[in-house]
Every structure is written in C-alpha cells, then in structure tokens.
Amino acid sequence: MHKTLLLTTLLCLAATAPARADEPITLAVDADGVQRAAIVLDSYSFTPSHLVVAVGKPVELTLTKEGFAPHNFVIDDPASGLAIKQDVGGDPVKVSFTPTRTGSFAIYCSKKAPFGKSHRQKGMEGVLEVR
C-alpha cells in the first residue's frame, strides 16, 4: 500500500514540476527587435543553461549572481560576434550582443580557485544555440 502511495505521489510531483534548467529556452523577439532573458549564476551552474536565439537579432541578457563564489559569463567565439567575458558581482549586469552566424556556442564561467578545478570543470557550462 505504501509503495503505491509513494509511486502515485512521485508521479504527481513529476507531472507538475517546472522545466529542467537544461531544457532549451527559445527567446522571443520583443516589439523593439531585441531577444531578452534573465540568467542566474549560482552553485556552479547557469539557470537556464540552454538558450536558443535568432541569428542577426540583438540579444540582451540580465545576469544575476547568487551565493558567495565569484562568477563570470563567457562566450568565446569572435568569428560569430560572440566575444564576451563579463564578471558578475552583487548587482545584476546586462550583456548585449548580436550573433552573426548559426551554431551552438559554449557559455561558461572561467573563474578558478588557486589550487582547484575551474568552475567550468565543475559543471558551470551551458549552451547558446543560434538558429
């Protein structure tokens, strides 16, 4: 009896759970032609971690850091118009860019403790997909 109740409860929770952080989020183009999203940098992760944007359209991301660890937001692909390295501190910061070619580009944090793994090695990586 208890197993059935537990299974039913788990199934109900799964059905009402929000989208996972790694599921692609497609940004809409606002009336002013800009694609906007908010990203939280926390505990060696980005939320959301997979953004889909349109090529040739401006993108504006609002970056907010939670927790105490220092973080930054990096996309390193100058050929596509994506050469971004922005530290993110206590106050939210905005990053604006216009991708010039399609493809999938890594988003990551390049911070590293003096004798440890980089934040990227700890899993702080995402994807910017340009279509």
Q: For every one of its 131 residues, what pLDDT tens digit does the chain have, with 9 covering 90 and above?
A: 544 433 333 333 333 344 455 789 999 999 999 999 999 999 899 999 999 999 999 999 999 999 988 999 999 998 887 999 999 998 999 999 999 999 999 999 999 988 889 999 999 999 999 99
Measured CA angle at 53 (ends 47, 56), to 5 deg: 145
* Global pTM value: 0.81
Q: Which pLDDT does position 81 carry in this prediction?
A: 77
Confidence at residue 113, expressed as pLDDT on a 0 to 100 scale: 86
Token pair for 36: 């906007």
In terms of phi and psi (left: phi > 0; alpha: psi -120 to 50; beta: otherwise), the region of 89 is: beta
Cα distance between residue 55 and residue 52, in whole Å: 10
| β partners of residue 50 | 127
For residue 43, what pLDDT is reported? Answer: 86
**CA distance linking residue 102 with residue 129, whole number of Å:** 7
CA-CA-CA-CA torsion sign (97, 107, 17, 92) = negative
- What is residue 7's predicted lDDT score, i.e. its pLDDT? 37
- Could you confirm whether domain 20-130 is CATH 2.60.40.420? yes
